Structure 1
């Protein structure tokens, strides 16, 4: 047994690594900047957690979602690690102050890129040695960093301000272009790459054509009733997530709830934990749900509508079957799907009138401080995402209506192009898996041992149908008490 294997067993109780983990960890331990792509369920978290125990100093993990941070913090705490925290909106001012005042006592610290933009937070981080700068879900740099989460595009300068610690950028799905973008934003000129296949052969890929939305609803109810759960149904809008959850509760015996970004953060975490702990059979959600959710036994993922990108589709279907057991992904298509996604994408656009008003507010503000400008716009009635994007572009030199509109139009056209491309991939009569892997510059060679492939190759859903019954869930009202019951939440002060 090697020293690394001994450390693996000592800290996590595992006797062997999953594919790719050992190579990635060795790269990190050699303090090489590393870009790693492992499929969903491939054990990405271990790739920074184990080196964290073997390196001196703080491991700083940049994470995109509050629920993802909380889930990973609780996993480490459940394993006995107390030196872990997340800086997020769930903390009280006192808890936040405690963490930042005692930052030298932590081994793992999770935060969003927006938190790093606080001068006070950045200065506190400068007071301790950062042994590893981790970007979890690194594809977000490319997908979000140029759009509604511009702080992602500043991670390179943030890293420089912290003394250029080694970087580990982790993702489950990325094209060559995305990986180049990640390297460019982070300033990684000589990063080592460990890239493994995005293919999940245990997930059957099915596409079904429906006549209209009503037929889709009935089909989802039928599938949710028949298929072995638990499962996820991805919806195009928050309204559809809520309405579809109500439909499934009415038409099936499944314990169903909804999840989207418009909910209170405590409610979102509660729904996620209910799902993880088998108190819910099915979640109807927007793409806000699922990233990093530590649930290995999700048996089905259904898409109620066309996804916007192939990257998003692969991320979402990859939430099924992380335990390696047979699982199924089903996309329902109907006339009007493309038009619906076009409308959703175009809702992000701004008219010339809107841009003139935004520029007027910015120029009258008398500051070039990004947060202040963003707050001024939001207080002036501008939607937060649009305010973030407009301020970010303005400070990059897009200071006229024409320049702003030109950039926004370019981004809109790129999103529409990706949406049409994934529609074509998922609508083809030939092997769907082969087409998706080709999108990620991979070839597909069936091994004849991985079970069913896709609906184009011929499928049988009967092996995925439910066997046995699930007991009824216990209802409750107070999410704070329930969160405490589920995994014993403790305040940041537990280190004292």
Structure 2
């Protein structure tokens, strides 16, 4: 073991109380510390946050972490503060102008800065960072560059310009899900030389998670099946929905039909409400979360035993991200998709961006129409117009992204309807055909599977009193002193 490797192992043991690195961690650290632009593709639950926290013990200067969600930033900031080793700041839209100005003035005092792409690209932020010693720039959830950048959060496309301006000593990109084509797209959109980027890829397969699909005839049967499964599975689960309205309705139904303490999590709740629900779930004061895709990214809860998708996911990538939140302790867990005919149309509507006409874009450029004529898409359109894209280019970009999104939905539908081992399909999708099937693999290989066959560990329950419904839980959250 060379000196750098020995030092890394010593820090891992002394500062983080781990005996060994997980697969891919040490290789990533060695690469990024050597100054190579590094893209590390490690499965969900493999400890990616360690890859930018540990280098702070070996380097000087500011480590800037670009994160897609405020809840994810907050989770990482809280963890670093609990360790009480480094000073950390968060810079995002939740802070008012005075708070942001104060952080910018004192930036040199921090070792970590967590921020969003939208905040990072602001001229004042870039100017401040350009005058500091940036030890490392980290792009967390780097698949967002490819999947979100063009038609959802285009500021991701400007990160390459920020890199040139602030000149970080090291660059690290992290994700759990990137196919070979997405990997190539990330590197291209970051403006990097493909030959200079070190790619570290670990198998996406999580052998401890049993993959199951229930194809059901209609919505009523689906609800009945969900209740039946949850009663068998018990506490320690997350159920995903594609609709806030259905999330609320089914959460209320589960509360009535089971003994579980149920919480809800979606964008219709305030930030404080979402934070409270997340914290209660983390501390086993809730048994089940009913959530939209807004929940889960960066959740560091090891003992989630099952993830159920009430509505089909919009892509294989998002599916793997979401079911990967189960079984992080390496023990048995379940991923279950409930499908009824027509579910795919919900995703088709969600993933499509309204494409304006070339004529309307030209009218806005000529001030003959106001920008708000584009409704929810006006910020996206404004970004492209501000960065001198022509109307024809804008329409082409959005059309191409809509086609890609529809293709991802069809691929997910083929997975659900397919006549192949589900684990084989997922591994092949990510270009990983060389893998070993676990004994309990999937419901295609074991069509008569039962919950008892999975040997799911019991979930510790800290609070035995059951709240009557999720509204009561929300009411109580504001009086429990946890925030």
Using the size of structure 2 for normalisation, the TM-score is 0.90
Map of 1:370 onto structure 2:
none
Q: Contact 1:228 / 1:464 at 8 angstroms: preserved in 2?
A: no
Map of 1:387 onto structure 2:
378
Segments of structure 2 that go 5 or more residues without pairing to the other structure are: 468-472
Aligned to 1:364, the other structure's residue is in SS state coil
Deviation at 1:93?
Answer: 4.2
Distance 1:478 1:112, change over 3 A: farther
The structure 2 residue matched to 1:96, chosen from 86, 100, 103, is: 100
**Aligned-partner Cα distance in 1 for 2:406–2:478:** 41
Does 2:409 correspond to 1:419?
A: yes
Alignment of 1:33-44 (within 5 A): 33-44=37-48
Distance 1:437 1:324, change over 3 A: same
The structure 2 residue matched to 1:200, chosen from 202, 206, 221, is: 206
Distance 1:218 1:50, change over 3 A: same
Map of 1:267 onto structure 2:
273
Aligned to 1:305, the other structure's residue is in SS state coil
Cα deviation per residue 1:356-407 (whole Å; 9 max; x = unaligned)?
55553444299xxxxxxxxx84xx36444x123212333455433x554343
**Aligned-partner Cα distance in 2 for 1:389–1:337:** 27
Q: Contact 1:328 / 1:464 at 8 angstroms: preserved in 2?
A: no
Q: Contact 1:227 / 1:466 at 8 angstroms: preserved in 2?
A: no
**Aligned-partner Cα distance in 2 for 1:90–1:254:** 33
Aligned to 2:367, the other structure's residue is in SS state helix
Q: Contact 2:210 / 2:440 at 8 angstroms: preserved in 1?
A: yes
**Aligned-partner Cα distance in 2 for 1:472–1:362:** 60
Q: Contact 2:178 / 2:317 at 8 angstroms: preserved in 1?
A: yes
Distance 1:480 1:126, change over 3 A: farther
Does 2:18 correspond to 1:14?
A: yes
Q: How many residue pairs align between the two structures?
A: 467
Aligned to 2:15, the other structure's residue is in SS state helix
Deviation at 1:337?
Answer: 1.4
Cα deviation per residue 1:24-71 (whole Å; 9 max; x = unaligned)?
111111121101011101010101110122111000000000100001
Map of 1:74 onto structure 2:
78
Q: CA RMSD in A?
A: 2.4
Map of 2:253 onto structure 1:
247
Map of 1:440 onto structure 2:
430
Q: Contact 1:255 / 1:473 at 8 angstroms: preserved in 2?
A: yes
Does 2:40 correspond to 1:47?
A: no
Deviation at 1:339?
Answer: 2.4
**Aligned-partner Cα distance in 1 for 2:200–2:405:** 28
Aligned to 2:334, the other structure's residue is in SS state strand
Using the size of structure 1 for normalisation, the TM-score is 0.88
Distance 1:113 1:217, change over 3 A: same
Does 2:102 correspond to 1:112?
A: no
Alignment of 1:235-384 (within 5 A): 235-346=241-352, 348-352=353-357, 356-357=359-360, 359-364=362-367, 377=371, 380=372, 382-384=374-376
Distance 1:118 1:481, change over 3 A: farther
Cα deviation per residue 1:169-223 (whole Å; 9 max; x = unaligned)?
0000100111111111222210111110100000000000111111111211222
Does 2:61 correspond to 1:57?
A: yes
Does 2:443 correspond to 1:455?
A: yes
Q: Contact 1:248 / 1:256 at 8 angstroms: preserved in 2?
A: yes
Distance 1:165 1:242, change over 3 A: farther
Which 10-residue stretch deviates more, 134-143 or 7-16? Answer: 7-16
